[in-house]
Amino acid sequence: MNKTFLFSLYEEAVRVSKPKHCLPDYFSTFSKGERVCILGAGKAAADMAVEAYNYFGDNAYGLVVTRYGYENTAPTGNIEVRLAAHPVPDENSVEGAKALLAMASRVAPTDKVIFLISGGGSSLACAPPSTISLDDKLALHKFLLRSGASIEEMNTVRKHVSVIKGGRLAAASKGHNTSLVISDVVGDDPAFIASGLTVQDTSTPHDALAILDKYGFDTSSNIRGYLARAPELPRVTGDYTLVANAQSAIDAAVKKANANGWDTHIISYTEKGEAQKVAKRHAEIALEHKKAGKPILLLSGGELTVTLGDSQGEGGPNQEYLMALANALKGEAGICALAADTDGVDGSKDVAGGFIDEHTLTRATQNGLDINALLAEHDSFGFFDALGSHIKIGPTRTNVNDFRVICIA
C-alpha cells in the first residue's frame, strides 16, 4: 500500500464535502424565481455562494465572508464575497460581521434568507461588543488556541464575547430563515459550528467565565468584567439542515476503499483528545490487527487537539498525531498511515497533514531528527518538512475536520 492510494481516499473525502457536491440538492426545495437573501461565513462560504448563484441566478443577493485564499472559483452574481483572517480575526472580520448584521436587519418579513455556514465562521465573522476592543478579542483568541481548549469550549467563550454569534445573526433577520451547514465540529452540534451564528443556544455568560477559569485566562482582562454582566443569548427560529460532515466524508472514502478490494474498520467518526494520546491508542489497535494477519484499513474522523503550553513548535494536530503514531509503531513492517485536515490546512502552516510508513523512524534518524524531543516541543512541521512527507493540497474551500487512515498490509 502506498501514499498515492491513501491520498486518493483523502481526496474522495474532501470531494464529497465540497459545496459543488453536497449543496445543490438542498436548494431544490426553493423556487428558482423567488428573491432570496444569501448570508454566510466560513471556509466554504464562497463556493457555497457560487452554488446559490448557480441555482437562483440574479434572484439571489447577499454577502458571505470567507478566509483569505478561499475566494470563489466561479461567479456569485449579486452575492458579495468578502475576505477576512482565520484562525485569528482581523479588522476585515469585524467589518464583515457588521455588514452581515446590517444586511440581515434589512430583510423584509416576506423574504427568505438562506444562511450558508461552515467551519471557520467564528473567526471570519467577529463582532465584539463596543466595550471590548479587537486587540482584547485577539488576545482571547490566541490564548484559547494555545490553551488546549476544545473547539466547543472556544466557541462557547467566543459567542458570549460577540454581538453576532450565538444565534444573533439569525435573530437580526425578520424573514424566514433557513441554515444550510457544513459541519467541522465533532458530533455536529449546531450551536458550535461557526459559534452557532444562526441557531438557538442554551449556554450562558457564566459558562464562558468557567472555561476561562479552567484554563487560567488573565484575571485582569476586561473581558471577564463584560461576561459578568453580559446579556443572555436571543431566541432564534428557522430551519436547519446539515449538508456535509465527517461521517459523510469518511463513508465516501470507505466506499472507494471497498471498491478497491479493501476491508475497512471505522475506529470513530468523532475522535477527540490530545493528538499524542490518541495516536498511542490507535497504534495499539493497528498492532492488534497486524498480529491477526489480515489486511485492513482503519479510518477515523473528528478533531484532535495539541496543548502547546510554553513550547514554540510549529505544526498541527494531524502532523503531531502521525509523528506520535510513528513513534509508537516503532517501524512495524507493513503499516503506513495518512492524516490530514479536510480544509487543506493543519495548524500554523499551509500543509494539510502528512504520511508515515515503516521507514519513517529510520529516515528520521538518518536526518538527525530526535523524534522524542520534537514531540516534547510539538514541532511536527519541522519533522515532516525534513522528511519531505507532508500532504499538500492547498485550500479545499470546505472543512469537515480531520481524516485519518491507517493501512495494515
What contacts 2, CB < 8 A, 6 or more positions away?
336
Give the model's confidence band at 81: pLDDT under 50 very low, under 70 low, under 90 confident, else very high: very high
pLDDT higher than 70, residue 209: yes
| DSSP H/E element including 257 | helix 246-259
Q: Are the C-beta atoms of residues 70 and 51 closer than 8 Å to each other?
A: no
Tell how strand 176-182 and strand 78-84 pair up.
Answer: unpaired
Torsion over CA of 325, 328, 330 and 335, rounded to 10 degrees? -40
pLDDT at position 142 is 84
Q: 296 or 150: whose pLDDT is higher?
A: 296
- Calculate mean pLDDT across residues 138-166: 89
pLDDT reported for residue 93 = 97
Q: What is the pLDDT of residues 120-135, one digit of tens each?
A: 999 999 999 999 999 9
Does residue 336 surpass a pLDDT of 90?
A: yes
Q: In what order do the strands lie in the sheet with 390-391?
A: 264-274, 296-305, 402-408, 335-341, 353-356, 390-391
pLDDT of residue 347: 84
Say what the pLDDT of residue 1 is. 58
What DSSP line would sit under 300-328, residue for residue? EEEEEE---TT------HHHHHHHHHHHH
| Cross-strand bridge partners of residue 178 | 114, 239
Give the cell for residue 94.
469585524
Instruction: Measure the CA–CA gap between 102 and 255, rounded to whole angstroms.
Output: 44
Pairing of strands 60-67, 78-84: parallel
pLDDT level of residue 311 (50, 70, 90 thresholds)? confident
Domains and CATH numbers, the chain: 1-242 (3.40.50.10180), 244-406 (3.40.1480.10)
Q: With cut-offs at 50, 70 and 90, classify the pLDDT of residue 216.
A: very high
Mean pLDDT along residues 6-26: 97
Dist CA 317 CA 141 (whole Å): 18
Rounded CA separation 354/365 (Å): 18
Q: Does position 152 have pLDDT exceeding 90, yes or no?
A: no
Pairing of strands 335-341, 78-84: unpaired
Nearest to 207 by CA among 160, 141, 137: 160
pTM for the predicted model, two decimal places: 0.90
Nearest to 1 by CA among 300, 324, 296: 296
> Comparing 334 with 313, which gets the higher pLDDT?
334
Contact between 73 and 49 under an 8 Å Cβ cutoff? The reply is: no
216: left (phi over 0), alpha (psi -120 to 50) or beta: left
390 contacts 351 by C-beta, under 8 angstroms: yes
Average the pLDDT over 162-191 and give the result. Answer: 96
Per-residue model confidence (pLDDT) at position 2: 85
Q: Name the pairing type of β-strands 335-341 and 402-408.
A: antiparallel
The yes-or-no verdict on residue 269 having pLDDT over 70 is: yes
pLDDT average, residue stretch 367-387: 96
Report the C-alpha gap between 185 and 193 in whole angstroms. 6
Q: For 212-226, b where at least 16 C-beta lie within 10 A, e where not — what string? A: beebebeeebebeeb
Q: Is the pLDDT of residue 221 over 90?
A: no
